[in-house]
Amino acid sequence: MGRKDTVFMTTRKTDRDWKLNLRYGKTATEFQHFSTIAEGLAGNLVEGFTCPTGPAFMGMKAWASSAEEAADMTRSIGGQIGFTVTGRIQTYKTEPAQPPRENPHGYDINFTPFTKE
């Protein structure tokens, strides 16, 4: 039990370090962090994603060079998954939950169905 706790504590400290290093300039990235919410239609989603077919919102977190790139990534990644953007894409600059990588990327993708009135 002691070893598991030790490894866990070390992992948690490392997880926190990337945020602190990024915030205080010890780690640099050319990307900014965004969260997007897109209105669209969920079709037959690829394995690993679930949502009833029909109107839905797709949420995604992204490391991108601009808000426009984050919106483009939402459209592109959504299309690859089986989601078609039909309405607005709202983009917000947000705090990251994962560290940046070498290239832009999206993560924490989720779907919320809704009914149109």
Which helix (H) or strand (E) segment holds residue 2: the answer is helix 2-23
Report how far apart, in Å, the C-alpha atoms of 25 and of each of 18, 90, 93, 115 are: 10, 28, 18, 45
SS3 47: coil
Q: What is the pLDDT of residues 45-81, one digit of tens each?
A: 999 999 999 999 999 999 999 999 999 999 999 999 9
Q: Which residues pair with 85 in a beta bridge?
A: 40
> Residue ranges per domain, the chain?
1-28, 31-113
Say yes or no to pLDDT of 1 above 90: no
Using a cut of 0.85, tell me whether the model's pTM lies above it. no
